[in-house]
Amino acid sequence: MRYSRIRRARNQKRYAIVLLIVFLILGGIYFLMAGTIGKAISNIITPILKTKVGTEQDGQVLNRMDKMSILQMRLVRKERTQS
């Protein structure tokens, strides 16, 4: 009886460690893939929402924002090349 209890305790400890490692690996995969999956879903949903919600004014505002962000990116690149 004594040896079977020792063996059972060792097996339980081994299973607990394996289970912990599996959870850590799956958690890491989820953490790494969550952004990619979210971006893919948003790329699918965004065109649908734009057609339902979007107006000409929204498009004009977005175009202005895009132009501003492009100008900001150019300034940042210029600063980096000068440094």
Question: Which residues of the chain are under the pLDDT cut of 50?
Answer: 56-57
Structure tokens at 21: 């490692």
CA 78/CA 81 separation, integer angstroms: 5
Count of domains forming the chain = 1
CA distance 32 to 25: 11
> What pLDDT score does 1 carry?
55
User: What pTM, to 2 d.p., does this model score?
Assistant: 0.43
Distances (CA, A) of 19 to 14, 40, 52: 9, 30, 46
Range of the domain at 35: 2-82
